[in-house]
A and B are shown apart, each in its own frame.
Chain A
Amino acid sequence: MNVIEITGVKKNYPLGTTTVHALRGVDLQVAKGSFLSIIGPSGSGKTTLLNIIGCIDSPSAGSAKIQGHEITALNDRQITDLRLHKIGFIFQTFNLIPVLNVRENVEFPLLLMRKYSKKEIDTRVEKLIKGVGLSEYIAHKPAELSGGQRQRVAIARALVTNPDIVLADEPTANLDSETSEAILQLMRDLNETEKTTFIFSTHDPEVLKYAKNIVKIKDGLIVGQE
């Protein structure tokens, strides 16, 4: 079963008097439990594609179905709830809430869900923070962390809700190889145990070793798949 079905998706950005064609007609099916890597040169449209899959951007044309929901047909609130419950997103530029510490940042989506007890939240959050190796920093604010540490907090936050789909835009770009591997291993474990679908963009050949599938993108078009 495909958790993601993208057909003929185009994305145009108006830029002054011209238009940037970031995606020129992308077709992509992703099966549940995939561990998919999107590769391509800078400016090829990786981030744009992930944004559309992650429901934080909408296509200019074409159709994008996430778990059977045509996202162009959903209203803002439905899309927001879809993001909260089904999707974990790790941004290329790691974004945390500055006034919250590591623990609070990670538990943020869980609190939004209003689904779990305090105890459940605590065990989940602590497990994930341990998983990304930040147990010592649990009470630190983002400003007191390094870039890589912040990235790991963002990863923990994306995984904490146990989403069906995790999207990661160059998740390891700021990490040393050791941490990178630990995190990739964590993702692979989740992928195996929970059948979580992972899609991530990368430049890093090391990362590609973990990928089960690879999609190549160039100038807004998919040019290869393996």
Chain B
Amino acid sequence: MSLTFKIAWRNIWKHKGKSLVIGFILFIGALLMTVGNGIISGMEQGMADNIVKLFTGDIVLISDEQESDAVLFGNMGGKPLKVIKNFEAAQKILAQETMIEQYLPVAGGMVMVLNEASEMEHTMLLGIDIHKYQQMFPDSFRLTEGRLFKPGERGILISEKYRKESYGLMDFWILPEDGELQKNNLTKEALAAADNLEFKRNLVFMGASTSNSTVDVRVPVKGIISYKSLNELWGHYCIVDIETFREAHNYLTGSQPVVQLSTEQETLLQDDSLDSFFGTDAVIEEQTTSEENYSVESLQELTKKEATTVYNPDAGSYNLVFIRLKKDVSQKEAVAQLNESFQKEKLPVRAITWKDAVGVIGSMAVLIKGALFLFILFIFFVAIIVIMNTLSMAALERISEIGMMRAVGARKWFLKKMFVYETGILSFFFGGIGILMGVIIIYILQAARFTTTNEFLQLVYGGDQLNPLFTGSDLLIVVSGLLIVTLIAVLYPLKVVGKIVPLDAIARE
């Protein structure tokens, strides 16, 4: 045992009170840092798992004309999402890309929901091909009432959250087309009014901001769904068949109702004359984005080229593509590679990570992380101040002892080392216990499986369930945090120690 260590060790025991003060603060700091970090890690992991697995995949494709990346929650009340132009070409790239496991084109956006009194409310809608959706996200939601709409069938799946919300706002209780009232699914208020509830089995809505040319669409409610995770968040979205979505957003139209384009009526489209008229994105785009003008020639050219693809449902309009990557493929790399490919082909498409796409929640996560980080920083700050003070006091209290050691021939560094050791030992011991306790708490929290329906808490949890994590990198973060605190806290006391001169050994009262 080195001399310095021996003296440091014994001083810790001699000055128990001070050691305990410093130890306690280090313990609390390490504990909070471990648990906080664990919650953040769990949140990030949970978010990533839930959102990637259940809702968006790893990467989202959007139109390059889209200003903000935050397409899923970021633009509530804003403009509708831009349609992805020349989707077919983009699809070819996706099909060839080996990093991609699966992808799913969808249409997302907000619609206004009308009631009989022409009052308006809004909901987020996700227009999907139900068959493909279930292939890509089989666990995304479960039915609580009714049934799913069949491929090609018109229908909407209402989220539990939206049903409750719409009851609160518009006083009707949504039921599946041919479903019975299930009393145990009612909210408290609805249950109280159960005897004279007004039911609604279909909804009328229109695309939120498709300015002049909106179409009111009536769509039957097929089922009520509950999302597997982050229900409070994802519950903002109801799920509708893609054709209804397109219709509501006027993606396909002009004078002709989209119904004619729906899968049920595909036969109509087999007529050659209609073919060239409705079958292409180019025509669709021409009518929805008025600022663009295709020349008649180019239009003819486009229609000719695309004519053969008219029966392919994919030829319709999409504004989002959810992409799931193969295992162990880096999101960043995939995004970069896809964007490179799109640029090469001059396609107006942009690949973004799911994090960018969820925007608001993504940044909410960053905010929560930041808040926790600030909190830990605050703990650090307090810890540093307390330790600094206590150590400086200790240095001054031992001034004649230290001066004497200097007089006897101890170099400044020897005495500084003594203080570093003292603090280091305390930091190691109490910090270690703090980390250990923190890890135990994390495991207890994991085992307790706390769940929440609170929207904010779901964000903190990264899902419905609190599932904090403790990984090697977390340990590294906490240990380096502890180290930094210890080093900063000891700096000033070391300065005090350094100023003690041999003459201080000779106490003069």
Contact = CB atoms under 8 A, between A and B. Distances in A.
Contact of B410 (A47, A54, A80, A98): A80
Contact of B409 (A84, A96, A97): A84
B324 to A, nearest CB: 64
A215 B11 CA distance: 42
Interface residues of A, number: 31
B505 A83 contact: no
A83 B14 contact: no
Contacts, number: 76
B288 to A, nearest CB: 81
A85 B410 CA distance: 11
Given A91-B506, A95-B400, A112 B409 contact: yes
Q: DSSP majority for the B interface? A: helix
B405 interface: yes
Contact of B10 (A93, A100, A113): A100
Contacts of B410: 80, 84, 112
A57 B7 CA distance: 26
Contacts of B403: 95
Interface string B1-36: 001001100110010000000000000000000000
Given A47-B506, A56-B503, A97 B401 contact: yes
Interface in B353-407: 400-401, 403-407
B502 interface: yes
B147 interface: no
Nearest to A84: B409
Nearest to B2: A111
B117 interface: no
A128 to B, nearest CB: 14
B412 interface: yes
Nearest to A55: B502
Contacts of A77: 411-412
Interface string B96-135: 0000000000000000000000000000000000000000
A58 to B, nearest CB: 9
Contacts of A93: 506-507
Nearest to B15: A99
A156 to B, nearest CB: 12
Contacts of A104: 6
Nearest to B400: A95
A174 to B, nearest CB: 15
A56 B505 contact: yes
Nearest to B413: A77
A100 B14 CA distance: 11
B414 interface: yes
Interface residues of B, number: 25
A131 interface: no
Interface in A132-187: 157, 161
A117 to B, nearest CB: 15
Given A47-B506, A56-B502, A56-B505, A98 B14 contact: yes
A72 interface: no
A113 B503 CA distance: 21
B408 A112 contact: yes
A124 to B, nearest CB: 15
Nearest to B412: A76
A62 interface: no
Nearest to A94: B404
A57 B503 contact: yes
A92 to B, nearest CB: 7
B409 A91 contact: no
B7 A99 contact: yes
B414 A112 contact: yes
A65 B26 CA distance: 49
A57 B508 CA distance: 14
Contacts of B502: 55-57, 83
A95 B401 contact: yes
Interface in A14-50: 47
Given A56-B502, A56-B503, A91-B505, A97 B405 contact: yes
A108 interface: yes
A96 B405 CA distance: 9
A81 interface: yes
A51 interface: yes
Interface in A78-125: 80-81, 83-85, 89, 91-93, 95-100, 104, 108-109, 111-113
A42 B466 CA distance: 76
Interface in B402-440: 403-412, 414
A57 B407 CA distance: 10
Contacts of A80: 406, 409-412
28 contacts: A47-B506, A51-B503, A56-B406, A56-B502, A56-B503, A56-B506, A57-B503, A76-B412, A77-B411, A80-B412, A84-B409, A84-B410, A85-B409, A89-B408, A91-B506, A92-B506, A95-B400, A95-B404, A95-B505, A97-B405, A98-B401, A99-B7, A100-B7, A108-B3, A108-B408, A109-B409, A112-B409, A112-B414
Of all A-B residue pairs in the complex, the 7 with the closest CB atoms, nearest first, are: A84-B409, A56-B502, A99-B10, A95-B404, A83-B409, A111-B3, A56-B407
Interface of B: 3, 6-7, 10-11, 14, 400-401, 403-412, 414, 501-503, 505-507
Given A100-B6, A112-B414, 17 more contacts: A51-B503, A55-B502, A56-B407, A56-B503, A80-B409, A80-B410, A83-B502, A91-B404, A92-B506, A95-B401, A97-B404, A99-B7, A104-B6, A108-B408, A112-B3, A112-B410, A113-B409
